[in-house]
Amino acid sequence: MAETEQKEQPETSAAPKKTKAKTRPKWLPSFGTQIIIALFLGVGLGLLAREIGPVGEEDPNWLTVTLETIGSSFIGLLQALVPPLIITAIIASVANLRNVTNAARLAGQTLLWFGITALASVVIGLGVALVANPGNSTTLTAEDGEDIGRSGSWLDFLTGILPENFLGISARSSVEEADGVIDVSTGISFNALQLVVIALVLGIAALKIGKAAEPFLQFNKSALAIVQKVLWWLILLAPLGTLGLLGNAVASYGWDALAPLGTFAIALYIGLAIVVFALYPVLLRLNGLSPIRWFAGAWPAIQLGFVSRSSLGTLPITERVTVRNLGVPREYASFATPFGATTKMDGCAAVYPAIAAVFVAQVFNVELSIWDYVLIAFVSVVGSAATAGLTGAVVMLTLTLSTLGLPLEGVGLLLAIDPILDMGRTATNVAGQTVIPTIVAKREKILDIERFKAVNGANPFDDDPVDENSVGAATAEESENENNTQESSSEEKENLVSA
């Protein structure tokens, strides 16, 4: 036995070692620091651009053009990845329910808590709006509203989610005539809601088929890993995108555009802050969880949501902090976070439309009844999927205004500062997308409490994304532990035989 143990020691020492995650170069600041630096630089460069010269659309100065190009390029690249990300992430999230015990109950609890927090958020938004009266504090009038050229009725919404083709592609052509020359241009876009429906149907169908669908699900899993890898590269450019987006916003809008909407913007951010710093902490505390630990763990995703203005673009980080920092099981998180990135929108679909509806009603001198406020709450809870994780919340606002019978020109009143508003809205969305899986996991007794309570959570921006971006897959460390366990079992068997 002693000889056996001595022989086994070298083999044990030669066992595979845990692969260390790649970290950033020592000279490079942390990702959070990069974002903060970019925020200050963006504001500074935006103010400088206003001092240099004209910033209008007709003849902007070179700095404004540069900032606009950087920001729009970042958002354009982000949006280019949305279609494949929606398809692969939703299919994978549905398929991963196979690996979750009592999946139907978990899915039901997730939807229930989505609804509970959405209702609470819209009530907060209405309360803030009624106290602040943003429409009565602005110099804008009904004549300042712009025709946004789109409808937003429930019929349009319901028919719009039905796929017109397999990929949810839509095309729009425009004709311009200048100096006798007619220019026809056609733009192609993807309908995010239709993509969600297509992905859900494909995922459910794959589950129904069973074993025959395994090759398809494996292909989808690999495709998702590739898309998330590319998205990870893009996320690393977020500080540069932040500089361009914020700098262009400051240069283009300035105080002249912000001043008439200052009360509205302040009211919106107060409402969002109450949701993130009061509502969510209360719910966490009621479920026996520390709000401080949740905020520390979820912060990397929240800050990225703020600068990227896209819940789907933040999805890899959202899932990673939910699993690694908050202790939610990967099998459940891989369903809840992609699903939440398309439907859980407390900022865009609850607080914002509530305050905006009151603002538009006050500007257009429309008196809202108690039933109108009930309708706002109903639309916010039921119509959350209308935002579909994309930047902006115009679709949700048009849906709310049309339900109340308010003029859609009211949307045009708020478009001027929408990018500034969208930062706070998306950060709130992402916060909600992390808190709900955490609460549900705790209530279902599947939360890793020790990982949630860990003082130093994993920094997702320093991790090597190769082992983390496969939805539903085990981490390299977990796989390695399994291999080591199997090797140890084999060694024990050999020892018993030799003994």
Write out the DSSP string of 341-382: HHH--TIIIIIHHHHHHHHHHHHTT----HHHHHHHHHHHHH
State how far the Cα of 281 lies from the Cα of 297, in Å rounded to an integer: 13
pLDDT for res 172: 67
* Range from 209-223, 366-380, 407-421 carrying the lowest mean pLDDT: 407-421
pLDDT for res 480: 45
- For 226, other C-beta atoms within 10 Å of its C-beta total 12
pLDDT band at 494; cut points 50, 70, 90: very low
Q: Which has more pLDDT, 230 or 78?
A: 230
State how far the Cα of 256 lies from the Cα of 264, in Å rounded to an integer: 15
- Average pLDDT over the chain, rounded to an integer: 77
* Range from 119-128, 416-425, 434-443 carrying the lowest mean pLDDT: 416-425
In this structure, are residues 174 and 184 in contact, taking their beta carbons and an 8 Å threshold?
Answer: yes
**339-369: b or e for each residue (b if 16 or more CB lie within 10 Å)?**
bbbbbbbbbbbbbbbbbbbbbbbbbbebebe
pLDDT band at 386; cut points 50, 70, 90: low
Model confidence pLDDT, tens digit, residues 179-202: 666 766 666 666 677 787 888 889
pLDDT for res 408: 78
pLDDT for res 338: 85
* Range from 254-258, 301-305, 421-425 carrying the lowest mean pLDDT: 254-258
pLDDT for res 496: 39
Region 159-167: what's the mean pLDDT?
A: 68
pLDDT band at 430; cut points 50, 70, 90: very high
pLDDT for res 439: 96
Which residues sit opposite 405 in a β-bridge?
Answer: none
CA distances (Å), origin 309, targets 169, 236, 334, 344, 425: 23, 15, 21, 14, 8
Region 254-274: what's the mean pLDDT?
A: 83
Closest CA to 237 of 23, 87, 76, 47: 76
Model confidence pLDDT, tens digit, residues 80-91: 887 888 888 888
Closest CA to 311 of 387, 226, 247: 387
Q: Nearest 5°: CA angle at 67, between 62 and 69?
A: 90
State how far the Cα of 487 lies from the Cα of 438, in Å rounded to an integer: 34
pLDDT for res 435: 96
pLDDT for res 107: 86
pLDDT for res 125: 94
pLDDT band at 30; cut points 50, 70, 90: confident
pLDDT for res 499: 38
Q: Which has more pLDDT, 372 or 2?
A: 372
Model confidence pLDDT, tens digit, residues 229-261: 888 888 888 888 888 888 887 887 666 666 678
Region 399-415: what's the mean pLDDT?
A: 79
| Polymer length of the chain | 499
Query: What is the DSSP code string of 132-147?
Result: H-GGGG-S--GGG---
pTM over 0.85? The answer is no
pLDDT for res 96: 79
Q: Which has more pLDDT, 259 or 44?
A: 44
Q: Which has more pLDDT, 90 or 15?
A: 90
pLDDT band at 489; cut points 50, 70, 90: very low
Which three-class secondary structure state does DSSP give residue 175? strand
pLDDT for res 467: 44
pLDDT for res 171: 65
> What domains, with CATH codes, occur in the chain?
28-480 (1.10.3860.10)
* Range from 348-362, 401-415, 473-487 carrying the lowest mean pLDDT: 473-487
pLDDT for res 140: 64
